[in-house]
Every structure is written in structure tokens, then in C-alpha cells.
Structure 1
Amino acid sequence: MTTVVELEIPAARLGFARTFDRVSTFEFQVGGMIGGSAPLVWTNGPDHETVKHALEDDPSVEVVASVADDDERSATDESAVTSQNDRWLFRLEFGDGVKLFEQIVTENDGALLTARGADGRWVVKLLFHDRESVSACHELLEQYEFRVTVTRISGVDDLARAQTPLTETQYETVCKAHELGYFDVPRGVTLKELAAELGISHQALSERLRRSHAALVSAELSERTAPIEIDR
């Protein structure tokens, strides 16, 4: 049976560990499959220069090119402005950790569907043809000390529902805000109280909610994407 597996892996094992240390609000999403050529990676952070300098100083990645940022997008492309707000696109060459991870997955008949991350961790979604391949891949990842955590296993029928404009961290933040009544009128919790509940700074929470709102509005207006139900 075709199986979709979602894993969490520490950035220290795959990449971006130093960038996460230097930029607490750093988030990323691989825009293309990791393969023979350096992939395109969307990044979030306080500003383009801070993210760029952090990536350039990170020994786990090599900045091949800064492909696009807010200043380079056409002012007439309204959809691009909406969907790529406060994001910057880089072509990055990853180090040995990602290359070994990719080799283990492909040698067990797996395929990388998505890769994204925040708060010092990667979230990757893999596709396998059967559960035996999943088990074999997991054993090798454990053997090579990737310290993976399996967060979800589902059938291929769930794949269409698994597409969401939010990162895992953004989704969890919006869920917690809704649970505590942040979006109620009047509010059930203040931004400061919500930040304390999540264990992050007031500024980091404000930026995360703003990006989440922008992503959800863009998805609703362009694709009417429904949020995924994440097992926890």
C-alpha cells in the first residue's frame, strides 16, 4: 500500500542549525525536489540581508544564488506579491547530511514530497510504495543517527488534503491561538499571553501570525485550500 510518512528531524543533523541559532524567526520551504542540481529554497526571516548573511555563514549550506526577493518581484504581479510576501528565494547547495538522507530514502524506493522547517527542525514528507520500505528506511535513518520522529503516517488518499500554505509551526500557532480565543471578539487571550503560552517572544509571535494570515488569505483567494488535520 502506498504510504505517506511525515518526519521531524533536528536541523543539526540535516542543515541550517547555525542559521536557526542566529535568526530565531527563520523558516524555510524547499521549492523543488532535492536532487542533482542545487534546489530552490524559500526562506522567511526578519529581513533579506539578515537571512542572506546567516546562510552565507552557515557551514551546512552553500548559497549558490539569491534568486529573488521582495524588491525583485514585479509590482504588476499581484498574485506573486500576495503569496510571496516577506519571503526570499535562494538556490542552496546542501551538505553531506541532506545528501545521505536523500540516498537512504531513494535506495528504499522512497520519494521526497516536501521539506520545510522552523524552530530548529526539519519537517519532511516522504512517499513509499509499501510499509516494508518505510520500515527499512526508518531503520537506516536510526542507524545513521538522524534522530527522526515520525509524526504522521497516512495512505496516499490523504495526499491531496496534505497540501497547505502554512508551515507546521504556523499551523500549530494558529490552532493554539484559536483554542485560547485570540480571534474571538473580545479576545480571550492577549498577544503577550499567547506568546508566553507558546514560549516565544511577542515579536516572533506577531511576525508568525502575520505570515500565517497572508498565506491563508492568499490560498483562499487563489486556490481555496483547506487546512490539513494534523494528528497530535
Structure 2
Amino acid sequence: MTTVVELEIPADRLGLARTFDRVSTFEFQVGGMIGGSPPLVWAGGQDRATVQTALESDPSVELIASVANDDAGTTTDDGVGAIPSDRWLYRLEFGDGVKLFEEIVTENDGAILTAQGRENRWMLKLLFHDRESVSACHELLEQYEFTVNVTRISGVDDLATARTPLTETQYKTICKAHELGYFDVPRGVTLKELAAELDISHQALSERLRRSHAALVSAELSDRTAPMEIDP
């Protein structure tokens, strides 16, 4: 059964520990985790200058670009949406800790749904095909001393208690896409093939996936955890 795992990992094992040390109020949310190009990362803290200086001097990341400006309500070209006045958007290249973590998760048929951090730790939500993959992944994470603290495990049938911002339709679509390898590199199934499997149009599936991704990022940024009652 498709399984969602929520866990915590210390920042000194994954990255950004130096930034947490220098900015006591530092928080972040990764959008579009992970693989391929460096991801966009929302960051908050004491003030933008302090946060950016800390990121630039943190050996666990490389600051590729500052994406957003200081104007509240601005919309980015990436379609992320309105920029909160106390959050700033950067494109970061993460170091070896995150890359090894990604490799362990993907090699065990897992996918990273969301990643955020506060108080010197990362909180991640992972999706796996089955419980056996969860166990195998956890064993490797322990072997490589990631100091994992699993906070929640839920199945696709536990939608009401899974603390997901997705509707039931969106959630099952994401699970099916993951099951068939749509998020793999290279992809195990095309968008057209996935649409046929779900018996919906290519355009409808594309829009549903985009809304699902937007819902995951928006919910983590605003701490919305209750499922939406209807599909947008």
C-alpha cells in the first residue's frame, strides 16, 4: 500500500546548520523538491540582509540566485504566487547531505513531497510504494547516520488523518503518478499514458498535477493542514 512518511532530521546532517546558528529565527520551505535543477527555497528570519548573508557563508549550500524582490504581494515568474512580506525566495544548490538523502529515498522507490525547516531541523514528507520500501529506506538512513525521527506514517486510505492539503482526487492522482514512475528520472510513464490510466484528458491531468504541487507548497508555507473539501 502506498505510504506517506513524515520525519525529522537534524540540520547538521542535511544542511543549513550554519545558517540556523547565525539566524536564530531562520525558517525555510523548499518548493519543487528535488532533483534536476537547484530548487527554489522560501526563507524567513530576522531580516533579508541577515538571512542572505548567512546563506552566502553557509558551506552546506550554494546560493545561486535571489529570485524575489522586497515587495509584498509580488508574483514570481515561476508561478509560486504572492510573496509574503516576511519571506524571501532563493535558488539554492544543496550539498552532499541532501544529495545522499535524495539518492537513498529514490533508490527505494520513494519521492520527496515536501521539505521545510525550523529550529535547527528539517521536516520532510516522503511517499513510498509500500511499507517494505519504507523499512529499507529507514535502514539505510540509519546506516548513514542521518539520525532520523519518524513522526508519522500513514497510508493512502488514511486521507482524513494524513495532514495533507490535497483533495482526495489530487492525493490519489499523485500516488498513481508516483506508483507508475511519472516522477522518476527518466520517467516510467508519460503524461499521456498516465492520463489514459486515470481515464481523464491530458489537459485535465496536467492542470490537476500543477494544482496539487501548488497546494503542497502553499499549505506548507501557511501551515494549512486540513484537506480541502472540494477540488479547485
Note the C-alpha offset of 1:157. Answer: 3.7
Unaligned segments of structure 2, at least 5 residues? 166-217, 228-232
Q: After the TM superposition, which residues 84-123 of structure 1 pair with which residues of structure 2 at under 5 Å, given as runs? A: 84-123=84-123
For 2:39 and 2:222, the matched residues in 1 are separated by 24
Q: After the TM superposition, which residues 175-194 of structure 1 pair with which residues of structure 2 at under 5 Å, given as runs? A: none
Query: Contact (CA 8 Å) 2:20, 2:119: kept in 1 or not?
Result: yes
Unaligned segments of structure 1, at least 5 residues? 165-214
Note the C-alpha offset of 1:219. Answer: 6.5
Q: TM-score, normalised by structure 1?
A: 0.66
Cα distance per residue 1:162-189 (max 9 Å; x no partner)? 246xxxxxxxxxxxxxxxxxxxxxxxxx
Taking a change above 3 Å as real, the CA distance of residues 97 and 21 of structure 1, as seen in their structure-2 partners, is: same
Note the C-alpha offset of 1:70. Answer: 2.6
For 2:89 and 2:145, the matched residues in 1 are separated by 30
Note the C-alpha offset of 1:71. Answer: 2.8
Query: Contact (CA 8 Å) 2:41, 2:89: kept in 1 or not?
Result: yes
Note the C-alpha offset of 1:80. Answer: 5.2
State whether structure 2 residue 157 is matched by structure 1 residue 154.
Answer: no
Runs (4 or more) in structure 1 with deviation over 3 Å come to 72-75, 157-161, 225-228
Cα distance per residue 1:43-69 (max 9 Å; x no partner)? 111111110000000000000000003
Query: Contact (CA 8 Å) 1:4, 1:154: kept in 2 or not?
Result: yes
**1:11 maps to what in 2?**
11
Query: Contact (CA 8 Å) 1:29, 1:42: kept in 2 or not?
Result: yes
For 1:51 and 1:96, the matched residues in 2 are separated by 22
Aligned length: 169
Note the C-alpha offset of 1:20. Answer: 0.2
**2:69 maps to what in 1?**
69
Note the C-alpha offset of 1:42. Answer: 0.5
Cα distance per residue 1:111-152 (max 9 Å; x no partner)? 000000100000000000100000000000000000000000
Taking a change above 3 Å as real, the CA distance of residues 219 and 145 of structure 1, as seen in their structure-2 partners, is: closer
Taking a change above 3 Å as real, the CA distance of residues 137 and 219 of structure 1, as seen in their structure-2 partners, is: closer
User: Cα RMSD (Å) of the superposition?
Assistant: 2.6
- What residue identity is the alignment partner of 2:84? Q
Q: What is the identity percentage for the equivalent residue pairs of Structure 1 and Structure 2? A: 72
Taking a change above 3 Å as real, the CA distance of residues 67 and 96 of structure 1, as seen in their structure-2 partners, is: same
What secondary structure sits across from 2:88 in the alignment?
A: strand
For 1:39 and 1:150, the matched residues in 2 are separated by 24
Taking a change above 3 Å as real, the CA distance of residues 95 and 24 of structure 1, as seen in their structure-2 partners, is: same
Taking a change above 3 Å as real, the CA distance of residues 80 and 133 of structure 1, as seen in their structure-2 partners, is: closer
Taking a change above 3 Å as real, the CA distance of residues 219 and 102 of structure 1, as seen in their structure-2 partners, is: closer
Query: Contact (CA 8 Å) 1:30, 1:41: kept in 2 or not?
Result: yes
Q: TM-score, normalised by structure 2?
A: 0.66
For 2:2 and 2:43, the matched residues in 1 are separated by 31
